[in-house]
Amino acid sequence: MNKSIAIAGLGWLGQPLAHRLTTLGYKVKGSVTSIEKATMLQQNGVEAYPVEISESGVQGEVKVFLKNADYLIIMIPPGLRRNTGTDYVLKMTHFLEEINNASVQKIILVSSTSVYDDSQRNVTEEDEPKPETIAGKQLRQVEELFNHSHDLETTVVRFGGLFGGSRNPAKYLAGRKDLAGGAAPVNLIHRDDCIKVLIEIVRQDAFGKTFNAVNPDHPKKSDYYIQKAKELGLEPPTFAETDSGEIFKQVDSENLGNVLGYEFKNKLS
C-alpha cells in the first residue's frame, strides 16, 4: 500500500484516526499548532510537524508536512463557536495556497452540519445549504473554496455533533434547567464512526463527493439527554416547553449508503 496521508489537526479526532490508519498500513504524518505538541507526539512515535494557520498566513513546517502526501485530511477547528471574530475563510485561503504549491491532490475537508439552517428542516446532501449564522456561512464558504479549486479532488464531510471517548455532551447538560429545543432531533455521530467514514473514503477513493456524516437515529433532544444523564448517574437536565411554531433541522445522509455502502453499528435510540 505505502500511501502517504497527511492529517492537518492531530487532536481529539486526528490522533486516533492517525493510529488507525497506521495499523492499516498507511504512512501517516500530522500537524499540530506548536513545537511542544509536535515534540511530544514525536516522542510517542508519531510523525508530527508544527504548523500554525492564522489570518496573516501559514507558519511552521508546512512544506515538509505536505511533501509527498497522497491524501490530505483537513480537520482544523475553525474556532467560530467562541465568537472570537476569527476569519476562518481567510485562514483557509492561506492554507489552500500552500496546498496548491504542494503535490497533494486528494483532499478530505471536514466540515459541519451547521452549514444547514434550522429553517431547512429535513436535509440530505441533495439540499443546498442555506446558512444564516456567521459560523455556518464561513464553513460553507470554505467548502466552496476547496470545491472550486480545479487542481484538487475534494470530498467534503459534514459531521454532526461529535461524541465519544471523554467527550459526552450529557455531562455538560446534566442538572441544567429549562433548556431550549427539547423537541429538536439530535444530529450526532460517534468518533468511531467518524474514523470509519474517513477511512472508507480513502479506501474507496471516493473523492469529489459530499457526505453528511450523521447517525440515522434522531431521538428528541430531551429524551436523549435525560436518558444519557441517568445512565451516567448524573442529575438529568430539564427542558422548557417547546413552542408549537419552533422549527428544527434533521440532517440525514444518502451518500454514506449509496456511495460508500456505510452502515452505522451504534444506535442512539
In this structure, is residue 183 part of a structural domain? no
In this structure, is residue 69 part of a structural domain? yes
Give pLDDT tens digits for 106-133.
Answer: 999 999 999 999 999 999 999 999 999 9
CATH of residue 126: 3.40.50.720
Question: What's residue 95's pLDDT?
Answer: 98
pTM (2 decimals)? 0.95
In this structure, is residue 75 part of a structural domain? yes
Range of the domain at 129: 4-164+188-216+251-258
Of 248, 268, 100, nearest in space to 193 by CA: 268
In this structure, is residue 265 part of a structural domain? no
Q: What is the mean pLDDT of residues 153-159?
A: 98
Instruction: Look at the block and give the residue holding cell 486526528.
Output: 14
N-terminal to C-terminal alpha carbon distance within the chain: 39
* 83 has pLDDT over 80: no
In this structure, is residue 85 part of a structural domain? yes
In this structure, is residue 172 part of a structural domain? no
Q: How many domains does the chain have?
A: 1
Distance from C-alpha of 163 to C-alpha of 188, rounded to nearest angstrom: 7
Residues 196 and 215 sit within 8 Å (Cβ to Cβ): no
Question: What's residue 84's pLDDT?
Answer: 63
Q: 34: which DSSP letter?
A: S
Residues 1 and 180 sit within 8 Å (Cβ to Cβ): no
Of 146, 148, 152, 140, nearest in space to 111 by CA: 140
Residues 79 and 86 sit within 8 Å (Cβ to Cβ): yes
Here the cell at position 65 is: 508536512
In this structure, is residue 221 part of a structural domain? no
Distance from C-alpha of 24 to C-alpha of 1, rounded to nearest angstrom: 9
Give pLDDT tens digits for 12-31.
Answer: 999 999 999 999 999 999 99
Host H or E run for residue 103: none
In this structure, is residue 169 part of a structural domain? no
